[in-house]
Amino acid sequence: MMRTSSLFLSILVGALARDSIAADQEPLPTICTDCHNKPQTERPGAAPQVLAESAHKALECTDCHQGVTMDRVDRAAQRPHGERVPVVNCGECHEDVSKIYTKHGQMEIGKDLDIPKCWSCHGSHDILPSSNRDSHVHPLNLAATCESCHTNVDIIKNHDLLKEEPIKLYESSVHGRATHRGLHMAATCSDCHSANAPNGSHTAHRILGGGDPESTIYLFNIPATCGKCHRGIAEDYWEGIHGQLVKRGEVDAPVCTRCHGEHGILPASDLR
pLDDT 10s digits, 121-164: 999 999 999 999 999 999 999 999 999 999 998 998 888 777 77
For the stretch 81-124, pLDDT in tens is 888 888 999 999 999 999 999 999 999 999 999 999 999 999 99
- Identify which of 161, 139, 162 has the alpha carbon closest to the alpha carbon of residue 149: 162
The residue-averaged pLDDT of 226-238 equals 97
pLDDT at 246 exceeding the cut of 90: yes
* pTM higher than 0.95: no
Residue 254: pLDDT above 80?
A: yes
Q: In what order do the strands lie in the sheet with 103-105?
A: 107-108, 103-105, 202-208, 194-196
Does residue 196 surpass a pLDDT of 50?
Answer: yes
Q: How far is CA 196 from CA 78, 116, 164, in A?
A: 45, 19, 26
pLDDT of residue 142: 95
Residue 37 pLDDT grade (very low, low, confident, very high; cuts 50, 70, 90): confident
Q: Assess contact for 37 and 50: CB atoms under 8 A.
A: no
pLDDT band at 193 (very low <50, low <70, confident <90, very high): very high
pLDDT at 242: 97
d(CA 48, CA 267): 46
Backbone torsions φ then ψ of 121, nearest 5 degrees: -100, -40
- The CA distance from 207 to 188, in Å, is 13
- Report the candidate in 36, 39, 31 with the shortest Cα–Cα distance to residue 62: 31
Average pLDDT of the chain is: 86
Q: How confident is the model at residue 21 (pLDDT cuts 50, 70, 90)?
A: very low
What is the H or E stretch that residue 202 is in? strand 202-208
Q: Check residue 254 and report its DSSP letter.
A: -
**C-alpha closest to that of 201 among 167, 228, 179:** 228
SS3 call for 200: coil
